[in-house]
Amino acid sequence: MSTITVERASRWFGNVVAVNDVSMTIAPGVTGLLGPNGAGKSTLIHMMAGFLPPSAGTVTLDGAPVWHNEDTYRRIGLVPEREGMYDFLTGWQFTLANARLHGLADPQAAAARALDTVEMAFAKDRPLDTYSKGMKQRVKMAAALVHDPAVLLLDEPFNGMDPRQRLQLMALIRQMGAQGRTVLFSSHILEEVEQVASHIEVVVAGRHAASGDFRAIRRLMTDRPHVFLLRSSDDRRLAAALIAQPSTASVELDARERALRVYAVDFQQFVRVLPRLAAELGIRLYEVAPSDESLESVFSYLVTS
């Protein structure tokens, strides 16, 4: 049973704060670290892997700090995002080298087992630089699993994978979690995370935004008001009519943009009501655009809520 505890950890690079006062506990099972690009997920994972000291706060594995502690690597397997590997080695040689570096009693058996787990035994005698991206990712997994670690950290493992490879990797991660390991992987795509992780931690702009299982997160995200930007032949009359509707939370006339901003609480209702109202009032709609579909605005809503 291994638990990673992040206690009020912060990390800054000069003037840029990459991780801002984050506290979280990663328990056994699969946890997904979700956040937009640049949110600090990679920084957090590298802090947990002992490659980046926190500028403030602590990052510990079962109470022992991971920074400056080579022994914890017996229990941690890291799958980094960067592609740099010893390209001249074959898949087998690379996995075997990792097994040997761990000082395992039977490195050949461990390497063979790891390659079978990731289903890369068929290509093990080809040099790494002939591998596709998905194959490289799987060999990295093999190298991380070769010493049977209790903790597995994966940095953006699904980047650049095709659907079939993604399914395979998801199955593998679920399997690792079911074995009782503590698995943490990062992603910026909610669908990827919710299919694999039982628990999700959301990180936005360095801050810990939300934590919970995926249903709770999704409810938080869909229950938000939808914001629409409307341009019509008579914004004010339209606004008056819309605010009378129960599906509208608020309306705002933006003089600078010469548009009408509508906050709708019931998306389904609103999109049915709007054209009907416009037709009844004889108002011509020039532009109807949703203005917060991006993941960033969803996340920022989560932070403010």
Partner 1 sequence: MNATIAMLTWRALLGRRRAALLLALPLVLLVLAAGLRLTGVADLEASRGVLGALVLGTLVPLLALIIGTGVISPEIDDGSIVYVLAKPVSRATIVVTKLAVAAACIALFAALPTLVAGLVMARNEAGVAVAYAIGTLVGGVAYCAVFLLLGVVSKHAVVLGLVYALLWETLIGGYVPGARTLSVQQWAVSVTSALAEDGAVTANVRLAVAVTFLVVATVAATAYASRRLRSLTLTGEE
Q: Which residues bind partner 1 (CB under 8 A)?
A: 42-43, 45-46, 49-53, 68, 70-71, 73-74, 76-78, 80-82, 84-86, 88-89, 97-98, 100-103, 143, 155
Write the DSSP symbol of residue 127: B
User: d(Cα 104, Cα 148) in Å, to the nearest integer?
Assistant: 10
Identity of the residue, 79 or 209, whose beta carbon is nearer to partner 1 in the bound complex? 79
CB of 156 to partner 1, least distance (A): 9
Identity of the residue, 106 or 223, whose beta carbon is nearer to partner 1 in the bound complex? 106
Assess contact for 184 and 2: CB atoms under 8 A: no
User: d(Cα 75, Cα 32) in Å, to the nearest integer?
Assistant: 19
Assess contact for 73 and 151: CB atoms under 8 A: no
* Residues linked to residue 109 through DSSP beta bridges, in sequence order: none
**Per-position b or e across 146-167, b if 16+ CB within 10 A of its CB:** bbebbbbbbbbbbeebeeebbe
Identity of the residue, 81 or 234, whose beta carbon is nearer to partner 1 in the bound complex? 81
Identity of the residue, 129 or 293, whose beta carbon is nearer to partner 1 in the bound complex? 129
Q: How many helices (H) and strands (E) does the chain have?
A: 10, 14
CB of 222 to partner 1, least distance (A): 31
- Residue 141 sits at φ, ψ, to 5 deg, of -60, -45
CB of 269 to partner 1, least distance (A): 44
CB of 255 to partner 1, least distance (A): 42
Identity of the residue, 29 or 127, whose beta carbon is nearer to partner 1 in the bound complex? 127
CB of 209 to partner 1, least distance (A): 21
Q: Are strands 182-187 and 151-154 parallel, antiparallel or unpaired?
A: parallel
User: d(Cα 253, Cα 165) in Å, to the nearest integer?
Assistant: 48
CB of 225 to partner 1, least distance (A): 35
In residues, how long is the chain? 305
Identity of the residue, 139 or 259, whose beta carbon is nearer to partner 1 in the bound complex? 139
